[in-house]
Amino acid sequence: MNIAKWPVAGERERELIEMVLNSPQWGGFHEIIGRFEQQFSAYQQCRYGLSTFNGTVSLEMMLQVVGIGAGDEVIVPAISFISTATAVSRSGATPVFVDIEPYSFNLDPGRVAAAITPKTRAILAVHFGGPLCAIDRIAGLAREHELFLFEDAAHAHGSEWSGKRAGSFGLAGSFSFQNGKVLTAGEGGMVTTNDEAFYQQCRSFANQGRQPGASFFHHFTLSSNLRMTALQAAVLVAQLERLDRDIELRRSNEEFIRRELAGIPGLVWQAIPDQVNRRSHYLLLGRIDAKAFGMSRDAFHAHTVERGIPCTPFYPHTLYQNPLYAEGGCRVEPCPVAEACIQDAFWFPHRLLMSERETIEELVFTVKHMAGASQPCV
Ligand SMILES: Cc1ncc(COP(=O)(O)O)c(C=O)c1O
């Protein structure tokens, strides 16, 4: 099948990279970095953006800058990429793994409420696959219990909840521009915020504890070098110019797939809350009820891959089932939904949704055929 390739670069990336290469500054002090920070944070409806070299260190920075550390607990979903949890552990705090909702793949606010203790300092909410988690209820809990709310928005470039974009709900949001993300420079990250003091702390933290106006060799706090390079920013400025068009293409293809495959017994797509009026379409997630579908998730995965369709059989375990947490270092709430998803969920990557309509029709035909369902789609 003729699946779209990712990542892709155009003339604009080449032009901006050339501009950087012709300058004496390839590192973290070129003006294009500030330009990208300004453009991307505005895109996410935030006043400030602080870029980093990846989305793992941006998560770590968010937590460390506010002083989260030993003795604190931070609530995270049981399903996410490992960085969501390790950012908490590396700050010295304890990740508390909480279950997700049955079909949204996102934090269950009822279970978040039940997991809050006097030790809880923050909630780190993930927008898994692109649609926002139930952010209004989670933000309400954070307010009620005086907790920091952080968003791991690594999947949620351009995603909205009632017209408000990811990364603008809590104190800060963290984005990733890693190779598979919908906006990429191979690696890259950013923290977005509306809080000026927090932003200034992040700017200093990512820049070896320097302070504006002070000498280059004066360092005021124990910090690190997390600076994005000018080459990364050049690629990202170019990619951002295409993001709206790419989102629209993915939206249209996902809508077609969902419409054509609606009603196939045992195939349930990710539930999208009504308030999610726009999303990145980073992953097309689903769950297979083997009995109703007539095939297990693993067989579904094997068949799709055999036919040239990129498909991932979900994560092999919940975050807390990783070897890293096998000996402890975390608190685990009951997570029956997360554990069930490990057995029956799958995702298609966003590049599939960027393929020609002919290819999308082939995918629909293949899945219908697998389900033993109706006629080929035309
Ligand atoms: C949910 C989530 N958070 C954080 C990250 C880490 O980002 P990075 O790979 O840029 O370090 C990723 C993945 O890449 C992710 O999927």
Q: Whose CA is nearest to atom 10 of ligand 1?
A: 55
Q: Is 347 exposed, middle or buried (0-12, 13-18, 19+ CB in 10 A)?
A: buried
Q: Which residues are registered as beta bridge partners of 285?
A: 347
Angle separating helix axes 82-91 and 55-65, nearest 10 degrees: 40
Q: Which residue has the tokens 């990129």?
A: 310
Please tell me the pTM assigned to this model.
0.97
Query: Cα torsion at 71, 75, 77, 80 (round to 10°)?
Result: -50
Given a cut of 50, the residues of the chain with pLDDT beneath it are 373-378
Q: Which residue has the tokens 């609606």?
A: 262
Q: Is 151 in the pocket of ligand 1 (CB under 6 A)?
A: no
CA distance 158 to 244: 8
C-alpha of residue 287 to centroid of ligand 1, in Å: 22
Of 92, 56, 97, 91, which Cα lies nearest the Cα of 318? 97
Q: Whose CA is nearest to atom 8 of ligand 1?
A: 55
pLDDT tens digits, one per residue of 116-172: 999 999 999 999 999 999 999 999 999 999 999 999 999 999 999 999 999 999 999
Q: What is the pLDDT of residue 95?
A: 98
CA distance 5 to 180: 11
The alpha carbon of 219 is separated from its chain's Cα centroid by a whole number of angstroms, namely: 32
CA distance 15 to 125: 37
For the chain, the first-to-last Cα distance in angstroms comes to 16
pLDDT tens digits, one per residue of 81-94: 999 999 999 999 99
Q: Which atom of ligand 1 is nearest to the CA of 126?
A: 1
